[in-house]
Structure 1
């Protein structure tokens, strides 16, 4: 890999950080020659990891850690049980960690030598450990630092209860290495266990077996017996309550929210049943959802056994539950069958968006599912237009090349929605029955495995297209820019009617305007309505009339709020300013922050422009997780 080769060339020329145990300086070159580091690292097949997993790889990880809210650190030991194919060096990924010592051995630990290379941005550094060719147990003693970007330490003021602090992790794509030293590539699946000590008035939860109530000692044990990629190791610590929704599912949240969360996600058992009816038995025993504080940067994160969810999903009317259907679908696509590298990210997300839509269709009907798909397709077209004019138009391909770039650069609508429409088009071509048979076999054949795009193409041809004698433009969909001409088209009369009403109101139809009420549409229709207005020539007078009829500025649904605030920025509708600022100060979900900051940066109205964006960011930056803050700093050029 070019990235890894360049890194180790630099390491050879630069000063390395050595941590040695009684070894004389003249012996250090013998401990770990840089040439060996280069050779081992570049052969792992993942441009975003230094780990030499083809020579030695973790099979099980045990964490023995203490969570210290006073100093905002996690400290302890990561114990790796490894499959050693005969190497004398084990390379791990680390970033923002204070490595204190490394030992080898299971019961009688012996200190060993190690080298930490120079940190290179988000990718971090290689931690190369000296071992013997029979070593199978490596123990890394460490503590986190302020640079551990997976960790979001929240003061009580940033929680719903305002009394206790809160901590959560976000590991995808390559941030798990900022709180655990490990081989941070999705190509290597591991089991893990943990013993955690936390403040006695808080509870700890992980993507593993979980307690449902606090204990008096503040000590918790966790087991994840199914092998997962490291980005799915997750932790949350806080004042958290639990409510059951059924035999194998429930919800966690801060105590004051537990009843509204329970109501909002009441359909979760139906979703699990629908998913199993489509693509086979749920493989993770329990499916729980934890609603985090507002700083969480995503709508949801599919940590196995414990999906993390953003409180913006709590709309009061269950209108945003498709996100939960999405995270549940990840229990098959992403968690059960995983992209081997971040260049293959569409294998996780394209399948999941497709599967999510099938779950929603099963429970709520085709009309709702089609409107959800149309909302996503609108977002895809917007992304495609931006990419075509960008410095990376090739990012509109499903198979990416993110060498020398951040994996997050590939987390766009391309992977999610173009990927889903590729599968929808396949389904339309071969027929739903045949496609469902194919997908069931796909998940069963590759469960608890990782897959590259090329391996998927080979499997698709062998199991579906070739036996049926079907020719399909797979290569065009995956390796070429843009959207192929044979992309499946979806239509919705309700969606189109909402768009027509928006155009009529923009043209001055007062009768249509006066008939407008909040309950006129479901959320997807409102999104179609507002997005259509965005393409019309409207002024602040019409904005005021719309606001008077529907109170958009004070609407509790975050999806609708984001569209309305964007429209207000474009038209210069100043009455939203205070609510917009409050929204951007409170919400950390990147999906909402990016378009609103982008609109402000391009804003032409005094008070709703880049100056205002910079002012808000300066006040809000500590409320955002590093994932969102990094994206916004790049946008604001600060």
Structure 2
């Protein structure tokens, strides 16, 4: 057996599937999906095939033509990879797996009506990155295996579904659905149900499989973009205003990186428990409601997810050990889009915030420098446990270094050629470096490519950002150490990013009276921008300013985005002599954990295991 991915049971000697046809029956009463997966291979195959599963009950595996059983075995569950589903085929070009998901599926969050915006109907959504698609359907769950798929979602009639795929139709169930094989006519065709059909005709890695089911409405914001959210007018209208400039960003992306290949670029604003800022699912980007800030600055998250349409979705890292190929390129592309659409100052602030965050992440991994590399070794490592800004920001720095070396026009030409050459393929770091050296001869003599990709920490030729606005904000933060807070005229035109950069550059050991005075003047703890609020609350915890612990509690109970949960819980439990804070953290998690997505729950539990 020769695995192609440290996080998958997929074997290099087995054929990779080309298409999966899913029939999914959503049972909200049990928080499960009864599913069938018709998996197609490129050619008839005899012998073993390995699939990844996690917490799936496998009822049977069948020949779809004769309905005869196909031999299979299911291993005990590995804590990271899940269970190995091994099939024995005999000249089969397809096979049908009948299964049921678990209520504890790591990809699915089932929300009861009180946990939603509208408080009326339940809601369920997926988050499959990095290795969670296997908890929704059996598959070769590695980005090395790109698939097309079709899906029928059988849901309560008062709900609707969206997918990262093209919508075909909404109709009543009929008696010959594929799912009759496992759940019977009375279940699949029960009264009060509706079927939504979708198709994804372009090959994508399994982690980009995505759907949401609930009471969902939409607003048109451009010729290629709708904003979807729960059918709450205030949420829909504010989202439509925040993302009104999306079409301009798409056009700028096309100018920089080539044709947009996915037809639609729709946006779904999820309930507050969504664990990420955004997820780049093609055709249907998922977003946290915390990006709706009222000043269009949340569109920068959209710019990042849009950039993934070229770097990540078109060209994908072959395994998570090469994750920087997705996120470093996308961070670079995002900042190029922001620079054109929102101006150089906005892009400079992004780079400055990223630089600060990167240095903090390198400090975080000081005891395990492997994860400060771009190309990492992750055998036996859960990718969620080592998720960080390193592949984003160090990857950006590497590409920025190349741009500085050869000049922007030459680098733009290189990028377009890179995307055109590898689109709809999954590649590794070595493939990129070979392409780089072939197309930019002598680059390895000017830049130490091995040091950048396999060295720890930051290479000495990394560029700290330099701009007037960055320098001014860092200077003001340094003056705070001397007891001077910024004057109102100095911050009159500041938005959330300026405050975020300022707060992140303040020392973590200032006196509580200074924190109180700063907040008394600028009301940062009350900010509607969570980037600002969380940066301030993290500072308050670090300085043991307990006046704000009530606001910390409120924040940890109203948002599930890991970007906010991780620093706040870490600040509460990290360090000695913080028994009161540790007790608070454990209480808050016990009270809020049902609100958090399973991925976020696991991340917080790992923080506790390290510090408690």
TM-score, normalised by the number of residues in structure 2: 0.93
Q: Distance in 2 between matches of 1:428 and 1:63?
A: 47
Residues 255 and 460 of structure 1: is their aligned pair in 2 closer, same or farther, counting only changes over 3 Å?
same
Displacement of 1:384 in angstroms is 1.0
Displacement of 1:476 in angstroms is 0.8
Matching residue within 27, 31, 37 for 1:68: 27
Q: Distance in 2 between matches of 1:284 and 1:95?
A: 30
3-state SS of 1:193 partner: strand
Query: Does 1:533 pair with 2:511?
Result: no
2:407 maps to what in 1? Answer: 431
Q: Distance in 2 between matches of 1:312 and 1:233?
A: 23
Query: Does 1:556 pair with 2:556?
Result: no
Matching residue within 417, 422, 426 for 2:393: 417
1:502 maps to what in 2? Answer: 477
Matching residue within 80, 83, 97 for 1:125: 83
Matches within 5 A, 1:23-34: none
3-state SS of 1:483 partner: coil
**Contact 1:297–1:625, Cα closer than 8 Å, also in 2:** yes
**Contact 1:300–1:307, Cα closer than 8 Å, also in 2:** yes
1:182 maps to what in 2? Answer: 139
Q: Distance in 2 between matches of 1:516 and 1:436?
A: 37
2:154 maps to what in 1? Answer: 197
C-alpha deviations, 1:540-578, integer Å up to 9, x for none?
222222222211121110000110101111222233222
Query: Does 1:141 pair with 2:98?
Result: yes
Matching residue within 266, 274, 281 for 2:252: 274
Residues 514 and 342 of structure 1: is their aligned pair in 2 closer, same or farther, counting only changes over 3 Å?
closer
3-state SS of 2:110 partner: strand
Displacement of 1:402 in angstroms is 0.1
Query: Does 1:584 pair with 2:556?
Result: yes
Unaligned runs of 5+ in 1: 1-38
Query: Does 1:287 pair with 2:255?
Result: no
**Contact 2:355–2:464, Cα closer than 8 Å, also in 1:** no
Matching residue within 259, 263, 274 for 1:296: 274
Matching residue within 511, 524, 547 for 2:519: 547
Query: Does 1:51 pair with 2:29?
Result: no
2:177 maps to what in 1? Answer: none
Q: Distance in 2 between matches of 1:232 and 1:80?
A: 17
2:454 maps to what in 1? Answer: 479
2:62 maps to what in 1? Answer: 103
Query: Does 1:347 pair with 2:322?
Result: no
Q: Distance in 2 between matches of 1:450 and 1:593?
A: 32
**Contact 1:55–1:87, Cα closer than 8 Å, also in 2:** no
**Contact 1:57–1:84, Cα closer than 8 Å, also in 2:** no
C-alpha deviations, 1:130-177, integer Å up to 9, x for none?
211x20111000011123111100111111111111100111111100
Q: Distance in 2 between matches of 1:470 and 1:226?
A: 39
**Contact 1:81–1:136, Cα closer than 8 Å, also in 2:** yes
2:466 maps to what in 1? Answer: 491
2:180 maps to what in 1? Answer: none
Residues 97 and 311 of structure 1: is their aligned pair in 2 closer, same or farther, counting only changes over 3 Å?
same
**Contact 2:170–2:197, Cα closer than 8 Å, also in 1:** no
Query: Does 1:358 pair with 2:312?
Result: no
Q: Distance in 2 between matches of 1:602 and 1:95?
A: 32
Q: Distance in 2 between matches of 1:429 and 1:81?
A: 46
Displacement of 1:303 in angstroms is 0.6
**Contact 2:525–2:537, Cα closer than 8 Å, also in 1:** yes
3-state SS of 1:223 partner: strand
C-alpha deviations, 1:207-238, integer Å up to 9, x for none?
10137999885210000000001111111001
Q: Distance in 1 between matches of 2:365 and 2:105?
A: 31
C-alpha deviations, 1:230-289, integer Å up to 9, x for none?
111111001111111111112101122100000011111111011000010000010011
3-state SS of 2:158 partner: coil
3-state SS of 1:297 partner: coil
**Contact 1:56–1:87, Cα closer than 8 Å, also in 2:** no
**Contact 2:4–2:11, Cα closer than 8 Å, also in 1:** no
Displacement of 1:505 in angstroms is 4.2
Matching residue within 594, 605, 610 for 1:622: 594
Unaligned runs of 5+ in 2: 173-191
3-state SS of 1:534 partner: coil
2:380 maps to what in 1? Answer: 404
Question: Which is worse superposed, 419-428 or 365-374?
Answer: 365-374
Matches within 5 A, 1:376-395: 376-388=354-366, 390=367, 392-395=368-371
**Contact 1:530–1:564, Cα closer than 8 Å, also in 2:** yes
2:303 maps to what in 1? Answer: 325
Q: Distance in 1 between matches of 2:517 and 2:145?
A: 56
**Contact 2:45–2:89, Cα closer than 8 Å, also in 1:** no
Query: Does 1:114 pair with 2:72?
Result: yes
Q: Distance in 1 between matches of 2:170 and 2:43?
A: 39
Q: Distance in 2 between matches of 1:608 and 1:373?
A: 36
**Contact 2:35–2:137, Cα closer than 8 Å, also in 1:** no
Matches within 5 A, 1:256-275: 256=232, 257-275=235-253
